[in-house]
Amino acid sequence: MPGKKASEETRREQIVAAAYAVAARTGIDGLTVRAVAERAGLSHGLVHFHFESRNRLVGALLERVLALTSVLEVSADVAGIPGTLDRFHALLRREMERLSQAPAAVRLFLEFWALGTRDPAVRARISEALEGYRAAFRVLTAEVLRAEPAAFAGVTPDGLAAVAVSF
Amino acid sequence: MPGKKASEETRREQIVAAAYAVAARTGIDGLTVRAVAERAGLSHGLVHFHFESRNRLVGALLERVLALTSVLEVSADVAGIPGTLDRFHALLRREMERLSQAPAAVRLFLEFWALGTRDPAVRARISEALEGYRAAFRVLTAEVLRAEPAAFAGVTPDGLAAVAVSF
DNA sequence: CCGGATATTGACCAGGCGTTCAATGTATTA
DNA sequence: TAATACATTGAACGCCTGGTCAATATCCGG
C-alpha cells in the first residue's frame, strides 16, 4: 500500500497535527512515534524521515502548544475598538476566552512545564516564550497607563503586566 | 546476596520513599519498578511482592503526595495563638511555607493532576482529597467570620475558603 | 519514455518495561 | 533440631519502544 508523496511542509504539518491529537489524549510521555504515525495514516519510518528523532517531534509539538497558549494575538476586531482601556479589556477577555476554548492546549502546556523541570532545553524554550508574551503585554499596559493615568495610580507597567499575564 | 527479612509495614514504607525519590527526579511516567527497587537497594521482584502492580505503587505514591500537599495541618504552636484572625493568618502563612519548602511534592501533585485528566481513578482520589482540604478550611473560615464579622462584611465562608485554598 | 532524486514502506534490531515464578534464603514455632 | 511459613532473589517471558536501513514506489526534469 504505497502512499503518495507530499511536500516537506505538508507532511511535517500533518505529523505535528497527529502528534498534538495523540498527546492530548495520552499525555506527552504517552506519545509514541508509532501512535503518531498511525493517527496520521503513515508508517512510523516516515516520521523518523521527517523528524530525525522523537525528541525533535516533541520539540515541534511544544512550538505548536506555545503558539496556542503563549502568543499574544491582537486580532483586527479588537484592534479596532476605540478607547485605550476598552481595547485593553477586550483583549484580556479575548485571551481568557481563547484559552478556555483550548483546554487541551493548556493542559499540554502544563505538562511541558512539568517536563521543563527535568529538561533544560524545554525549560529554556518555555521561559523564552513567556518572556515574549510578557513583553508584548508590557507594551500594551504601558500604553494604557499613558492614556489613563488616573485609573491606575501607583501601578507600574511591569506590575500590571505581571497580574494580567498570571490570569 | 540474600537480604534480611523485614516487616510488611517497614518494607512498604521503604519502597514508597524510594518511589517518591525516583518520581521527584524522573516524573511519574519515568517511574519504573526496577528504578525504585534499585533506589531502595532491593530486587524488583520484591516490589511486586509488596505492591501487586506498578499501578498500586503509583497509588501509594499519590497518597504520599496528597498527604504532603493537601492535608491541612493545624500544628500546636499555631493552635496556641490567641485571637481568631491572627491564628487564621498564621495558619495560612504556615501552609504557604510548608508548600514552598516541598517543591517536589507540589510538582508531583501537578503531575498527578495532569494524569487525572486521563485516569478516572486518579482524578476521583484527587477530587476527594481536595474536597476534604476545602472542608477543613471551611470550618476555620466559618469560625473567623463568626468572631470577626466586621472584617469580612458580605463574605461567605465558602467564598473565603475558596480564595484561601486557591493560594 | 527514461533516469535520477527522493518520499515511503516495513522488516529488523537492541534495549527497557511490567510481570511471573521456581528456587533459595531467613525467621519462627513445635 | 526439624518443620513450617514467609520474605527475597533473579532468570525468564512477551510486549512495546525508538531507531536503522535496504527495498520499493512515486515524482519530475530531460
- Tens digits of per-residue pLDDT, A71-124? 988 888 898 999 888 898 888 889 888 888 999 999 999 999 999 999 999 999
Which pLDDT band holds residue A167 (cuts at 50, 70, 90)?
very low
Distance CA A11, CA A5 (A): 9
- The pLDDT of residue A166: 43
Which pLDDT band holds residue B93 (cuts at 50, 70, 90)?
confident
Evaluate if residue A7 carries a pLDDT over 90. no
Tell me phi and psi for residue B131, to 5 degrees: -60, -45
Evaluate if residue B166 carries a pLDDT over 50. no
- The pLDDT of residue B161: 57
Nearest neighbour of A107 by CB, restricted to B25, B29, B114 = B114
Distance CA A141, CA A156 (A): 9
Distance from CA of A111 to the nearest CA of B (A): 7
Nearest neighbour of A114 by CB, restricted to B25, B107, B117 = B107
Q: In degrees, to the nearest 5, what angle opens at C-alpha A116 toward C-alphas A110 and A118? A: 125
Nearest residue: Cα versus C1' of D21: A45
Distance CA A84, CA A95 (A): 17
Q: Which residue has the higher pLDDT, A59 or A150?
A: A59
- The pLDDT of residue A9: 84
Nearest neighbour of A110 by CB, restricted to B25, B29, B114 = B114
Q: Which residue has the higher pLDDT, B16 or B83?
A: B16
CA of residue A5 relative to chain centroid, distance: 30
- The pLDDT of residue B75: 87
Evaluate if residue A128 carries a pLDDT over 90. yes
Residue A73, CB half-sphere, CA atoms under 13 Å: how many?
Answer: 15
Contact A106, A41 (CB under 8 A): no
Distance from CA of B147 to the nearest CA of A (A): 32
> DSSP letter at A2?
P
What number of residues does chain B have? 167
Which pLDDT band holds residue A134 (cuts at 50, 70, 90)?
confident
Interface test with B, best of A29, A106, A112 (most B CBs within 10 A): A29
Q: Protein footprint on strand D: which nucleotides are under 7 Å from a CB?
A: 6-11, 16-22, 24-27
- The pLDDT of residue A16: 98
Nucleotide nearest to B47 (CA to C1'): D8
Which pLDDT band holds residue B65 (cuts at 50, 70, 90)?
very high
- Contact flag, residue B4 CB and nucleic strand D, below 7 A: yes
Distance from CA of B161 to the nearest CA of A (A): 20
- The pLDDT of residue B89: 87
What digits encode the pLDDT tens for the residues B140-164? 888 888 888 877 766 666 655 555 5
Distance CA A5, CA A42 (A): 11
* Nine-digit cell string for B127: 477530587
Evaluate if residue B3 carries a pLDDT over 80. no
Q: Which residue has the higher pLDDT, A104 or A4?
A: A104
